[in-house]
Amino acid sequence: MWAGLWASQFTTPPLQCHVTSTLTYENDCKPDENGKKGASRWSHCRKRGADGNLRKSYEVEEPGKCSHSSRRPESFTTPESEGPVSRVKNWGDEVEAEEMRSNVRRDMHRYRRRILEADFPQRDRKISSGSSDSRDSRDSKESPAKGDLETDETTLIRRQKQINYGKNTLAYDRYIKDVPKDMRQPGVHPKTPNKFKKYSRRSWDQQIKLWRVKLHAWDPPAEEGSDLQQIEEIDLGEIMDFELDVECSADTESQCPTSSGASLSLAEVIFSIYKHIPSKISSSDPILEFF
Amino acid sequence: MDSAWTALDVVTQTMVQKAIADPKTVDLEKLSNAIVDQSLKDLSFCKDAGRMCYAVVQAEVQKAATSVFRRNLLTRLQQEFTAREETRNHSVQEWVCLVTFICSIFDYIKVNNAPLVALVDPIYDCLFRLAQPDALMNEEEVDCLVVQLHRVGEQLEQTNSQRMNQLFYLLRDGFLLQEDLSSMTRLLLLEILEFRASGWTLTNTAHKYYYSEVVD
């Protein structure tokens, strides 16, 4: 009877109860085990990718405490234990999660300060001319009012992780060495999405995808003609999604080369990659001949 | 740092130097194990080993933007911590070294200037063990207990004051009720009780009482 009760409560394989002699690593939060099926607001839409196959869980795994999505109890009583046994956590994971949280908080303070500094000259302008709607919306894109910041820690951490995946690539390393910040041209050079601005989940994920696609232009060459390969290797499923998303253009004017309201076509995405042409591409590159 | 440094064998010394100069050239997992192994053997080493580890962690963050060394160190420490009761049973010396080393790591290695929260409860667990009646019988363990409290007690209390209160109930009980304690043990316990009561410091008169006969 005990075994049945126990098995029904936990979806993981039975933990060893003799905590002192064995080591069990558990994270507080394992969305893939709890199952995001129906749990996230995403589950009712975008269930399939453009290729028709069911999508995998959208969420990035988040170690550390995320109380609103973890349904695992902190401690439990098993037949063998003498009382509640606390869940053994992995110190390495815990420290890294804590570090990410405090990095995000620190980033937020810095960003707030930067906004305050930028706000001052603009505030004067607003008072004197009387704020019009277009100006407000433009201003808020550059320096969102304090209340318009994304502050939810879980969201910020998730976004930071996505950014880290992109920054942790050879392409990004080569990009930042290749193009110093002051030489970056908006629309041409990839710009890291701003995690503190308010975006819908979909909009944010699209921005990340676009950013990472753009970064591929700096992938290290494996062999000649590799850039052509890279274009072919881009998951067309991902790119096809761009056409369906109207929000992309409104929020990512600095990333998308199109400034009209139109969504991106495949050709435009490829073109945006080739705008900054790494020197190694030969002029006889067949893709370039299109343009 | 000198005594800690010379306690290491030449191979490990070289590894440490190389790791600080260029973390990518060294097997950081091997290095972290070597440091932990040495600290479990040598009490004088483990007091300063934290500082050495801190140097390697910083070097890795600044030069390689990774934290492999820290992660390996923590994983190994967690293993040792989980097996602490068995360790204590076969060697009190090793158990004492383990506690000293964990506290040294907690003291030196911070995350964005904040202490490693993951270590707080484990350290408390160790201190609680040291405050048990059987442990209070060993001057070795009592000494370890009070030294660590001097070192990291205030930080521990800031992160979790409730457990510190509970720990001190045990210490008071031990001091008052345990009959077979040596006078040295009772002296050490009384000192730490006063130390905490004065806000993790000693008044001048108390300091004179406890330390006036200590030769520098």
- What SS3 string covers chain A? CHHHHHHHHCCCCCCCCCCCCCCCCECCCCHHHHCCCCCCCCCCCCCECCCCCECCCCCCCCCCCCCCCCCCCCEECCCCCCCCEECCECHHHHHHHHHHHHHHHHHHHHHHHHHHHHHHHHHHHHHHHCCCHHHHHHHHHHCCCHHHECCCHHHHHHHHHHHHHHHCCHHHHHHHHHCCHHHCCECCECCCCCCCECCCHHHHHHHHHHHHHHHHHHCCCCCCCHHHHHHHHCCHHHHHHHHHCCHHHHHCCCCCCCCCCCCCCHHHHHHHHHHCCCCCCCCCCCCHHHC
Query: Do B1 and B104 lie in a common domain?
Result: yes
The pLDDT-based confidence of A104 (bands split at 50, 70, 90) is very high
What sign does the CA torsion over A101, A91, A84, B146 have? Answer: negative
With 60 as the cut, is the pLDDT of residue A56 above it? Answer: no
ipTM confidence: 0.88
Coil/strand/helix, residue B111: strand
What are the pLDDT digits (tens) for A207-232? 999 999 999 989 888 755 444 444 54
Query: Is A99's CB within 8 Å of B111's CB?
Result: yes
Query: Do B123 and B95 lie in a common domain?
Result: no
* Interface residue B58 vs chain A (CB under 8 A): no
pLDDT at A252: 41
Which residues in chain A are closer than 8 Å to B32, comparing Cβ atoms? none
Eight-state DSSP code of residue B109: -
Eight-state DSSP code of residue B8: S
* Interface residue A95 vs chain B (CB under 8 A): yes
Query: Do B119 and B97 lie in a common domain?
Result: no
Which residues in chain B are closer than 8 Å to A90, comparing Cβ atoms? 75, 78
Q: Which structural domain, as residue segments, surrounds residue B42?
A: 1-108
Domain boundary among B108, B128, B151: B108
Domain count, chain B: 2
Whether the Cβ atoms of residue A59 and residue A36 lie closer than 8 Å to each other: yes
Average the pLDDT over each of A24-38, A191-205, B164-178 and give the range with the smallest value: A24-38
With 80 as the cut, is the pLDDT of residue A267 above it? Answer: no
pLDDT at A40: 52
Query: Do B117 and B140 lie in a common domain?
Result: yes
With 50 as the cut, is the pLDDT of residue A121 above it? Answer: yes
Predicted TM-score (pTM) of the model is 0.64
Average the pLDDT over each of A144-153, A252-261, B169-178 and give the range with the smallest value: A252-261
Query: Do B15 and B77 lie in a common domain?
Result: yes
The pLDDT-based confidence of A67 (bands split at 50, 70, 90) is very low
Segment A115-128 shows an average pLDDT of 65
Segment B38-48 shows an average pLDDT of 89
Residue A20 has phi, psi (to 5 degrees) of -70, -25
CA distance A248 to A220: 28
What are the pLDDT digits (tens) for A142-189? 555 556 888 899 999 999 999 999 998 889 989 988 888 888 888 889
pLDDT at A37: 45
pLDDT at A277: 46
With 70 as the cut, is the pLDDT of residue A261 above it? Answer: no
Beta-bridge partners for A48: A54
Where is B110: in which H helix or E strand? Answer: strand B110-111
The pLDDT-based confidence of A28 (bands split at 50, 70, 90) is very low
CA distance A206 to A243: 11
Query: Do B2 and B90 lie in a common domain?
Result: yes
Query: Do B118 and B203 lie in a common domain?
Result: yes
For B112, the closest of A19, A91, A102 (CB atoms) is A102
Query: Do B4 and B102 lie in a common domain?
Result: yes
With 80 as the cut, is the pLDDT of residue A107 above it? Answer: yes
CA distance A156 to A64: 14
Query: Do B170 and B92 lie in a common domain?
Result: no
A47-51 CB contacts, 8 Å cutoff, 24+ apart:
A49/A237, A49/A241, A50/A236, A50/A237, A50/A240, A50/A241, A51/A237
Q: Could you tell me where the DSSP H helices lie in chain B?
A: 2-7, 10-21, 28-41, 43-64, 68-82, 84-90, 92-108, 117-130, 133-136, 139-159, 161-177, 183-197, 204-211
With 50 as the cut, is the pLDDT of residue B140 above it? Answer: yes
CA distance B198 to B150: 12
Query: Do B18 and B35 lie in a common domain?
Result: yes
| A232 contact partners, CB below 8 Å, separation of at least 6 | none
pLDDT at B122: 97
Query: Is B111's CB within 8 Å of A95's CB?
Result: yes
Q: Which residue of chain A has the CA closest to B78?
A: A91
Query: Do B116 and B104 lie in a common domain?
Result: no
> How far B156 CA sits from the closest chain A CA (Å)?
16
Return the closest-CA partner of residue A192 out of A230, A219, A170, A165. A165
Which residues in chain A are closer than 8 Å to B84, comparing Cβ atoms? 20
Domain boundary among B58, B74, B108: B108
Query: Do B79 and B14 lie in a common domain?
Result: yes
CA distance A226 to A244: 29
pLDDT at A223: 58
Chain A interface disruption, residue of B53, B113, B116, B123, most A CBs within 10 A: B116
Q: What is the CATH number of the domain that holds B2?
A: 1.25.40.180
Domain boundary among B78, B108, B138: B108
| A95 contact partners, CB below 8 Å, separation of at least 6 | B70, B71, B74, B111, B116, B118
